[in-house]
Amino acid sequence: MTIKDIARMAGVSVSTVSRVLNNHPDVSAPIRAQVLAVVEEYHFIPNSAARNLVRPQRNTIGVITCGSGNPFHAPILEAIEGELEERGYGVCLRQVKREQDELAYAAALERSEKLKGIILLGGRSDFTVEQAAAVTVPFVCCTYENCFGDLPESAYSSVTIDDEKAAFQAVEYLHQMGHSDIALLLPDIHDRSVGELRYRGYCQALEHLDLPLRERLVLECAGYDMNFGYTAVRELLDSGESCTAVLAISDMLALTAIKALHDGGRRVPEDCSVMGLDGLETTEYTLPPLTTLVQPQEELGRTSVRILTQVIEGAGEHQHVLLQPAFRAGGSVAQR
Amino acid sequence: MTIKDIARMAGVSVSTVSRVLNNHPDVSAPIRAQVLAVVEEYHFIPNSAARNLVRPQRNTIGVITCGSGNPFHAPILEAIEGELEERGYGVCLRQVKREQDELAYAAALERSEKLKGIILLGGRSDFTVEQAAAVTVPFVCCTYENCFGDLPESAYSSVTIDDEKAAFQAVEYLHQMGHSDIALLLPDIHDRSVGELRYRGYCQALEHLDLPLRERLVLECAGYDMNFGYTAVRELLDSGESCTAVLAISDMLALTAIKALHDGGRRVPEDCSVMGLDGLETTEYTLPPLTTLVQPQEELGRTSVRILTQVIEGAGEHQHVLLQPAFRAGGSVAQR
Q: What ipTM was predicted for this assembly?
A: 0.81
pLDDT above 90 covers a percentage of chain A that reads: 71
Q: Which residues of B touch A111 (CB under 8 A)?
A: 2, 53
For residue B320, the surrounding DSSP H or E stretch is strand B320-323
The pLDDT, as a whole number, for residue A54 is: 46
User: Which SS3 state, helix, strand or coil, does residue A96 take?
Assistant: strand
The pLDDT, as a whole number, for residue A55 is: 44
Higher pLDDT residue, A17 or B116? B116
Let me know: does A92 contact A61? Beta carbons within 8 Å. Answer: yes
Closest residue in chain B to residue A95, using alpha carbons only: B93
How much is the mean pLDDT over chain A? Answer: 90
What would the mean pLDDT of B25-42 be, rounded to a whole number?
71
Across the interface, which of B42, B285, B286 has its CB nearest the CB of A230? Answer: B285
Cα B169 from Cα B177, distance rounded (Å)? 12
Q: Do A50 and B258 touch (CB under 8 A)?
A: no
Q: Which residue in B114, B197, A207, A236 sits closest to A228, CA to CA?
A: A236
Residues 6+ away with beta carbon under 8 Å from A60:
A89, A90, A91, A92, A113, A114, A115, A116
Residues forming beta bridges with residue A277, ordered by sequence position: A293
Cα A332 from Cα A268, distance rounded (Å)? 6
Q: Which of A4, A53, A137 to mutate to test the interface with B (most CBs of B within 10 A)?
A: A53
Tens-place pLDDT, residues B100-140: 889 999 999 899 889 999 999 998 899 999 999 999 999 99
R_g over Cα of chain B? 24
Question: Is the pLDDT at A109 greater than 70, yes or no?
Answer: yes
The pLDDT, as a whole number, for residue B71 is: 87
The pLDDT, as a whole number, for residue A28 is: 75
What would the mean pLDDT of A263-292 be, rounded to a whole number?
97
Distances in whole angstroms, Cα of residue B248 to Cα of each of A51, A233, B257, B291? 36, 31, 8, 11
Across the interface, which of B44, B93, B259 has its CB nearest the CB of A93? Answer: B93
Range from A21-35, A66-80, A106-120, B218-232 carrying the lowest mean pLDDT: A21-35
Q: Which of A129, A282, A290 to mutate to test the interface with B (most CBs of B within 10 A)?
A: A282
Q: Which residues of B touch A131 (CB under 8 A)?
A: 43
CB B201: neighbour CB atoms within 10 A? 25
Q: B41 to chain A, minimum CA–CA distance in Å?
A: 9
Q: Which residues of B touch A77 (CB under 8 A)?
A: 68-69
Residues forming beta bridges with residue A186, ordered by sequence position: A220
Across the interface, which of B44, B77, B108 has its CB nearest the CB of A68? Answer: B77
pLDDT bin (cut points 50, 70, 90) of residue A318 is very high
CB A325: neighbour CB atoms within 10 A? 20
Question: Is the pLDDT at A215 greater than 60, yes or no?
Answer: yes
Tens-place pLDDT, residues A20-63: 776 676 777 777 777 777 776 665 544 444 444 444 457 999 99
Let me know: does B257 contact B288? Beta carbons within 8 Å. Answer: no
Q: Which residue in A255, A244, A302, A259 sits closest to A277, CA to CA?
A: A255
Closest residue in chain A to residue B254, using alpha carbons only: A285
Question: Is the pLDDT at A276 greater than 90, yes or no?
Answer: yes
Tens-place pLDDT, residues B239-273: 999 999 999 999 999 999 999 999 999 999 999 99
Tens-place pLDDT, residues A223-239: 889 999 999 999 999 99
Distances in whole angstroms, Cα of residue B309 to Cα of each of A220, A324, B112, B141, B213? 41, 47, 20, 14, 44
Tens-place pLDDT, residues B143-188: 999 999 999 999 999 999 999 999 999 999 999 999 999 999 999 9
The pLDDT, as a whole number, for residue A53 is: 47
Cα A1 from Cα B111, distance rounded (Å)? 9
Q: How many residues does chain B have?
A: 336
Q: Which residue in B293, B297, B215 sits closest to B254, CA to CA?
A: B293
Question: Is the pLDDT at A252 greater than 90, yes or no?
Answer: yes
Higher pLDDT residue, B111 or A334? A334
pLDDT bin (cut points 50, 70, 90) of residue A243 is very high
Eight-state DSSP code of residue B325: -
The pLDDT, as a whole number, for residue B54 is: 46
- Residue A288, preceding bond cis, omega within 30 degrees? yes
pLDDT bin (cut points 50, 70, 90) of residue B18 is confident
Question: Is the pLDDT at B47 greater than 60, yes or no?
Answer: no
What would the mean pLDDT of A72-87 be, rounded to a whole number?
92
Cα A125 from Cα A197, distance rounded (Å)? 10
Question: Strands A326-328 and A291-294, how do they pair?
Answer: antiparallel
The pLDDT, as a whole number, for residue B49 is: 45
The pLDDT, as a whole number, for residue B67 is: 79
Q: Which of B4, B9, B43 to mutate to test the interface with A (most CBs of A within 10 A)?
A: B43
Handedness of CA B113, B117, B122, B128 (dihedral sign): positive
CB B147: neighbour CB atoms within 10 A? 18
What would the mean pLDDT of B85-95 be, rounded to a whole number?
88
Let me know: does B58 contact B309? Beta carbons within 8 Å. Answer: no
- Residue A152, preceding bond cis, omega within 30 degrees? no
Tens-place pLDDT, residues A126-158: 999 999 999 999 999 999 999 999 999 999 999
Closest residue in chain B to residue A267, using alpha carbons only: B287
Residues 6+ away with beta carbon under 8 Å from A113:
A60, A62, A92
Angle, CA of B181, B168 and B200, to the nearest 5°: 90
The pLDDT, as a whole number, for residue B57 is: 55
How many contacts, defined by CB atoms under 8 Å, are there between A and B? 149
Closest residue in chain B to residue A50, using alpha carbons only: B105
- Give the distance between the most distant pair of CA atoms in chain B: 80
The pLDDT, as a whole number, for residue A1 is: 63
Q: Which residues of A touch B130 (CB under 8 A)?
A: 42-43
Question: Is the pLDDT at B53 greater than 50, yes or no?
Answer: no
Q: B56 to chain A, minimum CA–CA distance in Å?
A: 8
Range from A197-201, A209-213, B51-55, B133-137 carrying the lowest mean pLDDT: B51-55
User: Which SS3 state, helix, strand or coil, does residue B211 take?
Assistant: coil
Q: Which residues of B touch A112 (CB under 8 A)?
A: 53-54, 56
Q: B256 to chain A, minimum CA–CA distance in Å?
A: 6
Query: In what order do the strands lie in the sheet containing A326-328?
Result: A218-220, A182-186, A245-248, A273-278, A291-294, A326-328
